Amino acid sequence: MRNSPLRHVETLSHNAITKLGLTRSVISAGAGMSGAVLIIASLLNGPQTEVQATPSEPEQMAVSHDEIFAELSAAPGLGKTAKTLTLKPGDSLGPLLQKNGVDGQTAYRVTQAFAKVYSPRDLRAGQKINMYLDDNAGLFGISLKPGLERALYVTRTAGGDFAAKDLAITFPKELVQVSGIIENSLYLDAARSGVPDKVTVQFSHIYEHSVDFQRDIQPGDAFTMAFELYRDAKGNPLKAGDLIYTSFSPRGKTAEYYLYKNKKGHENYYDQNGKGAKRKLMRTPINGARLSSGFGSRRHPISGYRKNHNGVDFAAPKGTPIMAAGVGIVERANRWSTFGNYVRIRHSDGYKTAYAHLNGFARGIKKGTRVRQGQTIGYVGTTGASTGNHLHYEVHKNGRPINPKSLSTLSGKPLPKEERADFDVRRAQIDRLRKDAPPALRPVAIETASVFAGDAP
């Protein structure tokens, strides 16, 4: 959902704020439920000025706006019933309200107030709008949740007009920890333990430089993930935050990493000795591929002669993206001999990588281009002397071909000496937090969970 350029919030005059004793800091993650309701009621019924002409940031609230309306609806003379409307293709706010019993003038005034915080043109089919009715069956207000952390509502003021509010909702978070053993796959077994996909993807990115997830992982390998989890007021999981600690033991060799922000404000993962998880070169610069031929002596599939295979082959569908194994400069990107479409990259410390039989090159990839690790440089094909779609991948050290599998022994870049003390403090802090971290309660799709306790009846 994109933000509307009309997005802004109702404001009060300075005198009104002073009289009420309210500040923005009151409406924050520290505000209690009852306090929040009193504040909202005061804002809606107190003296008001015209809506700001320029957008401002949403106010912060630690509770969902469904809870606010529930409290307001219980007050004398305010909303008593609610109805949920689901937008269908072609629906617009004003006509939708009129179809549900709201007179034309009221529907227009509500739409005008709503447009101060959210453009009605940004409404989409499938969104739910809650209508709130007072004792006389008149419209008291409407609410919409366009995103997990944003709530919009329009309510009738004491003077009979309608005013809109835009809240950025905050949620309490806690550190949880999940440990498990791989029985089927990392993704499946982690999900069964309550780990959301977002965290598992983070986890795989940490180890992708040293672990081949398609060939190195076996049943019985152990994993641990400690990550932040946000919950709603009822304790239901809403979304995942940062993954701050990981442990993984493929083939019985354990590697632990801690999230640390350096003095420049950059975050990365480091082992207990301060060495980064990100290695100089990736062992496998392609996802979803099958190892079809290893490094070393083999019978060539076309010539039939036995000769050294100076790289490894990964079979994959035509067009599969190929990544640069590390930061470097492209030395060549053209058609070359039996390699067909070919890319060679020069890295630091005497390393070079080569990628052959490409179907084509990624945009901007040419001689002299500087590439970053993980950047797409081309796509799988079968050009040159090739029997099928695959990537031929080579690694050279000082002009000598080496087995890409040996790249797992390369250490990550270490932290500067002047940052080791701060890192050690942070590492000890994370270890203390992990000791008391509860497990994730259940394997739910927390990335798409609703902020509401439920739709209005």
**Residue ranges of domains in the chain, CATH in brackets:** 14-169 (3.10.450.350), 173-276+420-448 (3.10.450.350), 290-409 (2.70.70.10)
What local confidence, expressed as pLDDT, does residue 39 receive?
A: 35
Q: Both tokens of residue 15?
A: 């005198």
pLDDT band for position 176 (cuts 50, 70, 90): very high
Average pLDDT over residues 262-270: 89
> Is-above-0.75 flag for pTM?
no
How far apart are alpha carbons 260 and 245 in whole angstroms?
10
Residue-wise pLDDT for 312-340, tens only, equals: 898 889 999 999 998 999 999 999 988 99
Q: pLDDT tens digits, residue range 183-218?
A: 988 889 998 888 988 899 889 888 877 777 766 788
How much is the pLDDT for 410? 63
What pairs with residue 142 in β-bridges? 131, 154
**Which range among 4-13, 266-275, 278-287, 400-409 shows the weakest confidence by mean pLDDT?**
4-13
What does the alpha-carbon distance between residue 316 and residue 390 come to, in Å, rounded to a whole number?
A: 5
Q: In the prediction, which pLDDT does 52 show?
A: 33
What CA–CA distance (Å, rounded) separates 319 from 383?
12
- pLDDT of 455 > 70? The answer is no
Query: What's the confidence (pLDDT) of residue 453?
Result: 34
Which pLDDT belongs to residue 28?
A: 29
